[in-house]
Structure 1
Amino acid sequence: MKHFYTEIENITLVFDDIKTNQDGMDSISLHFEKPIEDGFAFLDTIPWPKGQKRRNKSIS
Structure 2
Amino acid sequence: MRGSGGRSPRGRAGQGPYFPPLLYGSLALNGPFAGAVVMLGLMAVTVTARAALRRETLEG
TM-score by length of 1: 0.20
More helix by share: 2
Higher relative contact order (CA 8 A, sep 6+): 1
More strand by share: 1
